[in-house]
């Protein structure tokens, strides 16, 4: 700060804590509509669902066992902001995420960064791309594993891309930059190759794994999703379609299974993934399902 240099801290999670948990019975506070853990936001003292925007004042006792021993787990951008303020009370700090980034706040923050009026910026993917700031010497990536271990065939690729994008914000001026990555997997290919900007080594490793598991570009994919008012109805519809698809020669059917986010706004989602060495059979299935209740994604960019 004394040298008028700047730092960016990246974390792919909003809020102050990712879950509220009862220390006695283990109950996790969840959204009644989506049945997913809600995120604690310290500035509003609310538990918020990031999928349907359901909100609730922070309860004083556990909804399951009435114990007052509730604790907050995990970390978000607001929690990081609070910790940085505690550690560096003199620092000029800004946060950029979906909760804070009105157009005016975004413009003001970028203007202050450019003029050297900020020392540390904390944010989500908003700070990962496109910023050309000569005074940024240090970039920190917090919890890089949050993307790395998503249940999706593109998770490794997306982690590598993100680390390269974030790292590219440091050292764009007259000084070398330093990038620090917090991870439980320091030997993972996405981490090691991104650390040395070795795109060719990453691609070779990633393509070998996708070939072994029969994922693009070595096969074609069709992702199918149904959304129903009850879990039983969604499962029944997905099971019936999967049985029909398994009668088609040359297709590999994965599922049916609950979606990664199974429930959103009181609707239950089940999915089927279809693999084929040829694209025409998948196009035919997509055409047959057009206009039905199925959500059809041919050549999906991810399976989440």
pLDDT at residue number 34:
77
pLDDT at 226: 95
233 and 196 housed in the same domain: no
Q: Same domain, yes or no, for 155 and 101?
A: yes
pLDDT average, residue stretch 267-289: 95
Q: Given 194, 211, 228, which residue is the final one in a domain?
A: 211
Considering the domain architecture, whether residues 247 and 204 belong to the same structural domain is answered as: no
Residues 83 and 170 in one domain: yes
Return the sign of the alpha-carbon dihedral for residues 14, 18, 20, 23: negative
CB contact burial 90-102 (16+ within 10 A = b; e otherwise): eeebbbbbebbee
Which of 162, 140, 163, 123 shows the shortest CA–CA distance to 14? 123
Say if residue 85 is in the same domain as residue 184. Answer: yes
pLDDT of the residue at 172: 63
Give the Cα separation of 20 and 143 in Å (integer): 19
Residue 227, in any domain of the structure:
yes
Q: How high is the pLDDT of residue 132?
A: 67
Same domain, 260 and 158: no
| Domain CATH number, residue 238 | 3.30.70.600
Residues 152, 231: one domain? Answer: no
> pLDDT tens digit string along 67-123?
999 887 777 788 888 889 999 999 999 888 777 767 788 788 888 888 888 889 888
- CATH number of the domain bearing residue 139: 3.40.50.300
Residue finishing a domain among 211, 229, 256: 211
Tokens, residue 242: 């999967």
Claim to verify: residue 162 and residue 274 sit in the same structural domain: no
Q: Is residue 257 part of a domain?
A: yes
Lowest mean pLDDT among 8-17, 68-77, 273-282: 8-17
pLDDT at 283: 96
Domain range for 292:
220-298
With respect to residue 45, please indicate whether it lies within any of the assigned structural domains.
no
Number of domains the chain contains:
2
- pLDDT over 90 at 221, yes or no: yes
**The pairing of beta strand 136-141 with beta strand 178-181:** parallel
Q: 130-183, pLDDT tens digit by residue?
A: 666 777 888 888 888 878 887 889 999 999 998 888 877 766 666 777 888 888
Tens of pLDDT, residue by residue over 20-64, are 889 899 888 888 887 778 888 877 788 888 778 889 998 989 989
214: left (phi over 0), alpha (psi -120 to 50) or beta: left
């Amino acid at each position: 700060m004394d040298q008028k240099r700047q730092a960016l801290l990246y974390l792919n999670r909003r809020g102050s804590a990712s879950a509220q948990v009862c220390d006695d019975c283990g109950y996790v506070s969840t959204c009644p509509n989506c049945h997913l853990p809600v995120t604690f936001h310290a500035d509003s003292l609310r538990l918020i669902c990031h999928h349907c925007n359901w909100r609730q004042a922070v309860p004083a006792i556990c909804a399951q066992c009435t114990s007052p021993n509730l604790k907050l787990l995990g970390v978000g951008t607001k929690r990081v902001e609070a910790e940085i303020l505690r550690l560096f009370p003199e620092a000029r700090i800004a946060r950029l995420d979906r909760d804070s980034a009105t157009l005016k706040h975004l413009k003001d923050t970028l203007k202050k960064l450019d003029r050297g009026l900020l020392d540390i910026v904390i944010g989500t993917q908003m700070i990962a791309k496109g910023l050309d700031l000569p005074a940024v010497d240090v970039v920190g990536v917090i919890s890089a594993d949050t993307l790395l271990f998503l249940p999706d065939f593109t998770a490794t690729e997306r982690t590598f891309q993100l680390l390269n994008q974030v790292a590219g914000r440091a050292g764009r001026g007259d000084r070398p930059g330093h990038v620090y990555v917090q991870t439980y997997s320091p030997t993972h290919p996405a981490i090691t190759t991104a650390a040395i900007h070795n795109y060719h080594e990453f691609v070779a490793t990633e393509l070998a794994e996708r070939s072994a598991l029969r994922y693009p570009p070595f096969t074609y994919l069709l992702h199918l999703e149904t959304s129903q008012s009850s879990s039983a109805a969604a499962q029944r519809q997905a099971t019936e379609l999967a049985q029909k698809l398994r009668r088609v020669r040359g297709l590999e059917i994965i599922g049916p299974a609950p979606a990664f986010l199974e429930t959103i706004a009181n609707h239950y989602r089940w999915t089927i993934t279809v693999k084929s060495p040829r694209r025409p059979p998948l196009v035919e299935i997509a055409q047959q399902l057009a206009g039905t209740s199925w959500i059809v994604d041919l050549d999906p960019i991810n399976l989440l």
